[in-house]
A and B are shown apart, each in its own frame.
Chain A
């Protein structure tokens, strides 16, 4: 038998080579959970909005976010509140988040649904992002689930702040004037 001891440098090198570009992917809550947290015990109805080019452009100017806004993840509560799910795509991160607004457009709360960190260029690539669509905390992909607690330099949430701004712009430009559907 050969007593083989791996050279630690070789192993480290191998780990570097095989390490996925995806450094961290955390899925905190689902969109259903976000609804329950931000609008507890309230019935929400889906109210997608068609984002015209003009609206898209105005949101872009106001928030400095270039990644287009998808209008299909918007819900409304019976008392006129709004829940908007959006994502910000930065150079190193992609964050899916939910913003709850009351009927007057004030922010009731913000929850992060997913946080994906990468140092490749892939974050900007919609094909790459697709792999996370519909994944949940319990998904077999097990997104680095054993690594939950990370210490390190403080990560700024500036991009997300820009994202929240774009949701408030959406409210001012479109949601505010949407009449409550009468049944």
Chain B
């Protein structure tokens, strides 16, 4: 295996492919992730995502087919999780200092992903102002897209790991470790996976770096319920990383390993409790 690593999507993205694969295949996969970062990144004020946040409640916005795919998946998971997953919580992360403030939303009653309406497959509008943050779900999507590109470039086996959102493809089972939430230095071998994705959500790095919890409960009624606090580690095993990432939020907020939404997406929950 050859592994390369680049800083993208705010984290470290590793791509491993079998020895015989061409270097250009990895370059194309990284290029796609870079493009997704340019489209759906919150940090970049001129991303398509920030354009949506600024204008979708005023007018119809023409979007890239990849952004459309992510928003479509986000709506789907929102529906089946009965609102536990909602990427319309960007303003909460801005308020907590976890994301930059590009738009002033004060005096606005903000909606969520449920307010996004598709007029055509790539034309959207919003019934209320929204502050979407696609951080996690776009990362999962980027991993899937990178895998798709590697496969189409003829790579027979490999791994894409975007800071814990990982997907394995090819004929060989690959051993996977998850960090022990009690002591993140320690790695727990959870077994091997093959042609599957695993995403993990946990707060140990946030706590270490003295940051507010990035796990936001979109259904919170009280101020104190907004930031979910937990010492557990929440992982989801699924076919595609975009679902795996989105569903970690459902697991972390509901704390139910058998939430009906997991079966709907053929996903399995792994909760490491202390």
Chain A residues close to B by CB (< 8 Å): 16, 19, 23, 26, 28-29, 37, 92, 97, 109-112, 115, 117, 119, 146-158, 160-161, 164
Contacts and interface: CB of A to CB of B under 8 A. Distances in A.
Interface stretch (B3-11, B59-67, B104-112, B115-123): B3-11
Interface string B170-212: 0000111111000011110010000000111111111011000
B117 to A, nearest CB: 30
Nearest to A117: B185
B44 to A, nearest CB: 13
Contacts of A97: 7
A160 B5 CA distance: 12
A161 B6 CA distance: 11
B126 interface: no
Contact of A151 (B12, B200, B209): B200
A151 B235 contact: yes
Contacts of A154: 10-11, 139, 163-165, 205
Interface of B: 1, 3-7, 10-12, 14, 16, 23, 27, 139, 159, 161, 163-166, 168, 174-179, 184-187, 190, 198-206, 208-209, 233, 235
A26 B178 CA distance: 16
A153 B11 CA distance: 10
Contacts of A29: 4
Given A26-B3, A149-B166, A151-B179, 17 more contacts: A19-B186, A112-B6, A148-B3, A149-B175, A150-B161, A150-B176, A150-B179, A151-B178, A151-B200, A151-B235, A152-B178, A152-B233, A153-B202, A153-B203, A154-B163, A154-B164, A157-B11
B208 A92 contact: yes
Contacts of B178: 150-152
Given A115-B12, A156-B205, A157-B11, A151 B198 contact: yes
Nearest to B244: A151
A153 B168 contact: no
Contacts of A158: 10
Contact of A153 (B4, B174, B205): B205
Contacts of B201: 153
Contacts of A16: 186
B256 to A, nearest CB: 20
Contacts of A111: 4-6
A23 B166 CA distance: 20
Contacts of A37: 4, 23, 27
Given A149-B161, A151-B177, A28 B5 contact: yes
A151 B5 contact: no
B5 A155 contact: no
A28 B5 CA distance: 7
Nearest to B1: A148
B5 A19 contact: no
Nearest to B3: A28
For A16, A149, A151, A155, the residue with the greatest tally of chain B CB atoms inside 10 Å of its CB is: A151
7 contacts: A28-B5, A28-B14, A111-B4, A148-B3, A151-B200, A155-B11, A156-B11
Contacts of B168: 149
Rank and list the top 7 A-B pairs by shortest CB-CB distance, nearest first. Answer: A152-B179, A23-B185, A112-B5, A153-B202, A154-B163, A157-B7, A151-B200
